[in-house]
Each structure stands twice: as structure tokens, then as C-alpha cells.
Amino acid sequence: MPSAEPLARTSPKAPGAPPASLTAPVPPEPSPRRRGRPAALSPYAFLVPFFTLFAAFGIFPLLYTAYVSLYRAELQTPGELEWRGLGNYTALFADPFFWTALRNTFTIGVLSTVPQLLMALGLAHVLNYRLRGRTFFRTALLLPYATSVAAASLIFAQLFGHDFGLINRLLDLVGVHPVDWQNGTVASQIAVSSIVVWRWTGYNALIYLAGLQTIPAELYEAAEVDGASRWRQFLHVTLPGLRPTIVFTSVVSTIGATQLFGEPLLFEGSVSGGISHQYQTLGLYMYEQGWGFFHLGRAAAIAWVMFLLIAVLVGANAWLARRRYRKEAGQ
């Protein structure tokens, strides 16, 4: 989920909400008699470099994607656009592989996001104890995050190898038959998901740890005095305190899961995501259409579907979180 990752370091608040300190105090306007310098213009000069790049390489491509999705645009002749209306979309919905990719994106998304966030939560809880060598533990848990998608996927592709992969050999040692991690639908999706889980669990654990450290120690002390077990402390002090962070990480992981691409591409190195597309995700399907089959217009339609999907999922996530919150507040 590399593209969504910068987001993860921003704010554990509700997505899209303006940051709290937008209203921070501002120095008074400089007095107008300042040596003829155009004081009112100069603040914009600081913004020009960022916003020029932002407009050219951030906003423009995004809007233009919607436009291109209505045209026939081919990779060999990227300058020529031929009007197709909603043709790219209808072709998309008529393609069974689109639905396969949509379903795979969903199942791989669940298989990777749920265990990853649950384990991260547990790890954060453990990391929050007073520990010897805590910098070591934190840094070591972040090693997978430092490893690129490409490298991690190549390594896991070998670990999951059918004949000589370490995982099948380990299974053999305990008497389990070798698993076909490449061709089995469930098996291949578990294998691809495990790459995501490996790379992001430690990172999310640190995000949760940062959230945990904002929970006052007195709450735990009070719970201790009341004789609450550690498990009950976790349920009744830790979880409520972490709620905003949990919502935030699930939104970020959902966005990342929706556009999963490198892991399924490099698991076997093919754009079809396995022989019967058994682990092809939407991201990979888009790449296959655009750069495998040269249909850029079709790929743009897929991008736009992914965007809508993300909007719906993020909206649902926020709605669920708010509803739950209301329910508990009403108790």
C-alpha cells in the first residue's frame, strides 16, 4: 500500500476533516510602509513551487483520468482520442475478469487487513510496557516496512515456492502435504496477503503505540486498583482510548488494499495474477489492460471505478465508526 502510506503519518483524526490547528494564531499583517516590498504578494511566492507541481502532477492527472475514461485511447497512439461515451465502462462490466479482480481485491483485502491490524494492536499493547531495549524492538519491527514491495514479493515468492520453498518444507516436516501456493485460489490469496501483513504489521503497531501513549497512565492505575485483569484493562481502557487511531488505520489500510499491485504482480511475475486470474487484483487488472493490452481508456475507467470504490469504503468506514460511537455514548 505504498501510495497511501504518506497518509498514515498525518493524523489519526477523521479523514478529510480540516486539521485542528488551521486556526492557529497568525502574526499581524506587516505594516504597509515596508520599503516598497509587495508584502501582500510575497506569501504566495512560498507556495508557487509546491502548487505548480501539485497542479501538473497531482490534480491534472486525476481529473483527466475521468476524461480519458470516456475515450478510446491506445498505448501505441497516446495522442489520438476517439469518443466512446460510457463504452469503456460497459465493456468493463461485461468482462468476467473484472468481476474476478473485484472479488479478489475484496478477499485479499480482508485477508491482509484484518490480521495485520489485529496483530499490530496486540504488538502495540506489548510494546507499551516498560521494556529493556525498546528502541531495538521498535526498529526491528519496522524492518519489513523498509523493505520494498518488489523485494518483499520476490523473497516471499521463494519462501512459498512449490518444491523448494521453505514453507512447504516446514509443512512437510510436520507431516502436511505441500500446498500449491501458486495455483490454489485460497492458498495463493493467503500467500499474497501474507506479504502485505509482513510489511505493514510493525508499522501499524508503531502508529497504535503512538496512540496508546496518549492514554493517561492513571486510567490503568485506577483499573488496577479496581482489580481489573490485564485483558479487561485492554478491553475497557486501551480500546476506547485508541478508537480514533483504529478508525484511521482501517481507512488507510482499506485504501492500500484497494490498489494492491506490486505483491500480486511479482508473486509469479505475470500481469494476469495467476493462471486463472486467481489472485489478480483491480490494480493489477488496470495495469494489464493499460500496459499489457494497450487499452489506456479502459485502464482509466478501471482507475475511476477504484476511486469510487475507495470513496464508498471510506464513507462506510466513517459511518460505522460514528454509529458505534453514538451507540456507546448512549449507553
Partner 1 sequence: MSATVTARRGGRLTYAVLVCAVLVSAFPLYWTLVAASRSNAELARPLPALLPGPRLLDNFRSVLDEAAIGKALLNSLVVSGSITAGTVLCSTLAGFAFAKLRFRGRGALLAAVVASMMIPPQLGVIPLFMLIVKLHWVNQLQAVVLPGLVSAFGVFFMRQFLVQSLPDELIEAARVDGASHARIFWSIVVPIARPAMAVLGLLTFMTAWNDFFWPIVALSSQEPTVQVALRQLGGGYVHDQSVIMAGTLLGTLPVLLVFGLLGRQIVGGIMQGAVKG
User: Within positions 216 to 235, which residues make up the interface with partner 1, using CB under 8 A?
Assistant: 217, 220-221, 224
> Does 62 interact with partner 1 (rule: CB under 8 A)?
yes
Q: Is 47 in the site for partner 1 (CB under 8 A)?
A: yes
Task: Tell me the site size for partner 1, rule CB under 8 A.
Answer: 126
Contact yes or no for 95/301 (Cβ under 8 A)? no
Per CB under 8 A, 6 contacts partner 1: yes
Nearest to 98 by CA among 300, 235, 280, 331: 280
CB 124 within 8 A of CB 208: yes
CA 147 to chain centre: 16
d(CA 157, CA 192): 9
Considering the complex, state which of residue 111 and residue 287 has its C-beta at the smaller distance from partner 1: 287
Q: Under rule CB under 8 A, which residues in 234-273 are in contact with partner 1?
A: 245, 255, 258-259, 261-262, 265-266, 269-270
CB 331 to partner 1: min, Å: 28
CA distances from residue 318 to 8, 243, 296 in whole angstroms, order as listed: 16, 12, 33
In this complex, which beta carbon is closest to partner 1, that of residue 102 or of residue 154?
A: 154
From CA 42, how far away is CA 45, in angstroms rounded?
Answer: 5
Q: Interface with partner 1 includes 313 (CB under 8 A)?
A: no
> Which C-beta is closer to partner 1: that of 27 or that of 175?
27
Q: Which of 246, 283, 285, 317 touches partner 1 by CB under 8 A?
A: 283
User: Does position 316 bind partner 1 by CB under 8 A?
Assistant: no
Closest CA to 280 of 47, 46, 108, 125: 108
Q: Under rule CB under 8 A, which residues in 82-121 are in contact with partner 1?
A: none
